[in-house]
Chain A
Amino acid sequence: MSLLNYTVYRLAQGFITFLGAFLLIFLFVRLLPGDPARLIAGPEALEEDIQRIRAHLGLDRPLYEQFITYMASLLRGDLGTSIKYGTPVLEEILARLPYTLALAFVAEALAVSVAVPLGVLAALKPRSLVSQLVSVLAVVGASLPVFWTGLMLIFIFSVELRLLPSSGAESPKHIILPSATLAFFLVGNLARITRAAVMESLSSNHVVTARAKGLSFNKILVRHVLRNSLIPILTVASVQLGALLGGAVVTETVFAWPGIGSLLIDSLFFRDYPLAQGVIMFTVGAFILINIVTDILYALVDPRVREILWKAA
C-alpha cells in the first residue's frame, strides 16, 4: 500500500465520521431550549411579530422537513443562512477563519518553540533547575484559568506598562497577548511530554550503542534521540492545535479576537441554528483532518508506524 492509498482510505473514514457527527449536531443544537424568533425580536416584542419571524425563518415547520431542506441545500454547497445576521453561514465562517488560523498557529508555534528546547534540556539534566522549571510550568500553566492569565497580561502590558494593545485584531502587535496566553497554557504539558520522551530514548539500546561507537553527543541527540521522541510531541501538539482551531473561545472573548470561537458562542447564545451547526461542523472537520494529517506524519517520520498502519488499513 502506498502513502496515497492510505491517505484516501483515511479521508473516506473521516468523511463517514463527519456525517455521523453532522446528524448529532443538527439534532443537539435544536434540542437546546429557546426560540430564536423571540431572541431576535427581544422580550418586549409582540406575539404576532414573533410568529411572523418564526414563519419567515421556516422554524414553524416540522424538524424532519427542516432537516431535508438543510441537507438539500448542503448538497448544493450552501451551509444555510444565519438567523442573526441574515447572511450566508459560509461567508460568516470564512470571514472569521483567518483570525482563528492565525491565533492557533502562532500560539502553537510559540508553545512548541519554547517547550521543546526546555523539555530537551530538562531531560539532559533531570536534577537541574530547568527540569524543575518544566514541572512548575506544567502545574502553573494548567492551573491558571485562561481568562485569568489573559486579564493579567492585559493589566500588566496594556494598562500598567502601555506596551501592547489590550484587545482587538488591528495589527500584528495585537496577536502577541492572546497567543502568549494560550501558549502559557500549553507550554508546560508539551515540555513535560518532551522531557519524558527524550529521557526514554536516551536510555534506549540504540542510543547506548551509538554512544559506545563513539559518535559525538550532538549527533546522537539530533539523529537518534530527537527523531525517536518526535511521535509523542507530534501527538500532543496536533491535539492542541486541533482544539485551538475549534476556536479558543475564552481567549477570543477576553481579547475581543474575532475568530471562530467567539462566533460559536454568539450563535449558541442566540440559538442561531444554521450558524452554530456550521461552526461546529467546521470544528469537527478541522479536528478530523488534523488527526488524519497527524497519522500521515507519523508514517512519514517513523518507518515502523508505516508498516503497522498500512497493514491495518
Chain B
Amino acid sequence: MRAISRSMIIAAVILVLIVVLGFYLVLKPGAPAPVITPTPVTTPTTPQTPITPTPTPTPVTPIVSKKDVLRVAIGIDLDTIDPHGQTTTVVFNVVRHVYETLVWYDEKGNVIPWLAERWEISPDGLTYTFYLRKGVKFHDGAEFDAYAVKANVDRWTDPTVRVPLRGQLPIKGAEVVDKYTVKIYFKEPYAPALRAIASYLLIASPKVIEKFGNQTITEAIGTGPYKFVSWEKGKKVVLEANEGYWGEKPYIKRIEWLIIPDATTRVAALLAKDVDFAYNLPPTDIDRVKTAGFQAVTPLSNRIIFIAILPKGPLADPKVRQALNYAVDKQAIIDYVLYGLGVDTNAPLPSHFFGYARMTPYDYNVEKARKLLAEAGYPQGFKVVLLHPTGRYLQDKQVAEAVQAYLSKIGVQVELRTMDWPSFVKEVTKPLEEKTYDMVLLGWGPLVADAHFTLHGQFHSKQAPPKGLAAAHYSNPEVDSLLEQAAREVDEAKRRELYRRAIEIIWQDAPWIFLYVQKWFYGSAANLKGFMVYIDGEQIFFHKAYFD
C-alpha cells in the first residue's frame, strides 16, 4: 500500500512538471500582458490596400529563387476542384493558381483585364462583351478562345450541374461573336457583375468540360501559372509551375499545400520549418512567431464581425440598440482580445469594399449609454441571451465574453450560449418567433468586395430568416428600396451615393452592435518574398513568390 501511495505522489509530481514544461514550451516567449501590436490605422476614406509585408519586387536583375519548392500549411481540406463547384475561400485560393478568370482585381480592388484584354458594357447593363487575350493555352494544350468561355458559361448556367453559388452570378447565357470575342448576357441589370465574374467564373479547359459534362469535374485543367499535379485527400495538394504560362513565369517550381487542421500544429510546423507559409494562425501566437524571426502577415479580411440584435422586447427600440453600441469599447476588444487583429471601420462593411462610407463612430461612452437606456424606459437594464459560435471566428467566444462584461456595466445582463457550427446555423435560420436568443455574434464575409453582398445579404427584409441569413431580421422599406436600386445602377457614382444613404439609415437604426472587420494572421518564412495578398485579405497568391 505504501508503495502505491508513494507512486501516486511521484505521478502527481511528474504530472505537474510535465504541465509546467509544456506551458513553457508552448507559450514561450510568453506575453505577460495582452500584447498590443500597434496596427497601422488605415485612412478609411480611401480604398484600403492590403498590408503586404513585401512590396512587389521590381528587380533589375531577374529573380532566381534560392529554393524552388514551397510548402504551405492550410487548415482545411479541399472539397472539390470543380471550377464551378467552389464555395470556400481557401479552396478558391488553391485552385485559382490553376484556373483563371476573364477579369481580376488589382491590389486596390479595381477590376483589371486578365484573360480578357478589355470589355464593354451595354447601356442597359444586360450585355457584357469581352475581347479575349490571344495565344493563351490550357494545360492540356486546348486553346483559350470564345468557345472555351461559352462552354464554361453554359456549364455555369446548366441546371443539372451542381453550381452552389450560381445565384451570386445570375448569367443568362453566352454567345460567340468571333474566335476572340464573346458576349455574356444577364437576366437583369446586375451592378456587381464584373466583380462577380472576377470572383466566380473560373475558366476550365473545354475538353475537360466535354469529358465530365454535368458530373463533378475531378481534373483541374486551367490556364493559370500552376498546373495541378495531385490531391491526396486530407493530406496534400501539389501544383507544378506551368512553363507555358502566358504571363510572367512563376519562380517557384512546385507548391505543396499541406492540410494541417490544428492551428497550434500549423504554428509548430512553421517554427520547425516543415512549412514555409502557414494560413490562419491563432492570434495568441503572434508574438511568438515574430520573435522566432518569421513574418507575421496580417491582412484585413472581407469579414465583418457583429452582434445582430433581434427586434423584440426592449431591443425593438432603436434607442436601446444605440445604447448597446455606446456601451461596448470596440477598440479595447480589438487591442486586448484580438491582439490587434481587427479594424473598426465605423460602418457595417469593410472599408475596402465598393460602396463603403464612413459613419460617425459610436464612441465608448457608458454615461451616454445609461442615459439612452433610461430615456427608453429601462434605467435598470434587462436580461438578454447572446448566442455565439466557438472557434469559427478569431477569438469569438472571448469577444462574446468581453461584450457580456461591458453590457453588465449598464445593467444589461447577458447570458451566453454556444453551439457547434451546423446547429448554430440552424438556430440562426429559424423564423423570428422560434428563436430562443436575443442577440447573435456572427461574421459575414462575401467573396466579392462589393457593398451589395454585405448590405443586401444582411439588411434587405427579404433576406430575413428562414429565407436568408439576415441575422437581425432588419426591415426598413426605405433601405430595401435603396439597396434594390443600387443593385441595378450601372453608374458607379450614383451607386456609391445610394449605398451611402442606406448605410446612414442602418447606422442610425443600429440593428447590430457594430464590432470590427477581422484580420487574418498568417505566418511566413523570413526569406519568402513576392507573394501577393489578395484584396479579400484571405487569399494569398504565390505567382511571383520567391525565396531570397
Contacts and interface: CB of A to CB of B under 8 A. Distances in A.
A32 B422 contact: yes
B332 interface: no
A256 B164 contact: no
A255 B269 CA distance: 10
Interface string B154-178: 0000010010111110000000000
A248 to B, nearest CB: 13
A266 B166 contact: no
B217 to A, nearest CB: 10
Contact of A256 (B7, B11, B262): B262
Contacts of A132: 3, 6-7, 10
Interface string A136-166: 1001100110011001101110111010011
B77 interface: yes
Interface in A258-307: 258-259, 262-263, 266, 269-271
A19 interface: no
Interface residues of B, number: 67
A168 B264 contact: no
Interface string B45-77: 000000000000000000000000000000001
A245 to B, nearest CB: 17
Given A40-B164, A48-B167, A151-B22, A269 B422 contact: yes
Contacts, number: 187
Given A33-B426, A39-B425, A49-B165, A136 B7 contact: yes
Given A151-B265, A258-B233, A269-B421, A139 B11 contact: yes
B425 A166 contact: no
A256 B265 contact: yes
Interface string A65-106: 000000000000000000011110000100110000000000
A79 to B, nearest CB: 16
Contacts of A44: 444-447, 453, 457, 469
A86 B261 CA distance: 21
Interface string B332-364: 000000000000000000000000000000000
A33 B434 CA distance: 15
A131 interface: yes
Nearest to B468: A47
Contacts of A131: 3
B164 A53 contact: yes
Given A35-B425, A40-B87, A159-B268, A96 B8 contact: no
A135 B8 contact: yes
Given A43-B469, A258-B234, A154 B268 contact: yes
Contacts of A45: 87, 164-165, 167-168
B253 interface: no
Contact of B261 (A33, A38, A52, A253): A253
Contacts of B165: 41-42, 45, 49
B332 to A, nearest CB: 28
B25 interface: yes
Contacts of B166: 49, 52
B1 to A, nearest CB: 12
A311 interface: no
A33 B419 CA distance: 10
Contact of B265 (A139, A154, A169, A270): A154
A259 B21 CA distance: 30
Given A45-B87, A136-B7, 5 more contacts: A44-B457, A49-B166, A52-B159, A127-B3, A140-B18
9 contacts: A39-B422, A40-B79, A86-B82, A159-B25, A165-B272, A168-B236, A256-B260, A256-B261, A266-B77
Interface of B: 3-4, 6-8, 10-12, 14-15, 18, 21-22, 25-26, 77, 79-80, 82, 85, 87-88, 159, 162, 164-168, 216, 218, 232-236, 258-262, 264-265, 268-269, 271-274, 420-423, 425-427, 429, 442, 444-447, 453, 457, 467-469
A-B pairs, 6 with minimum CB distance: A34-B422, A258-B234, A135-B7, A46-B167, A139-B11, A256-B260
Interface of A: 32-35, 38-49, 52-53, 56, 84-87, 92, 95-96, 126-127, 131-132, 135-136, 139-140, 143-144, 147-148, 151-152, 154-156, 158-160, 162, 165-169, 253-256, 258-259, 262-263, 266, 269-271
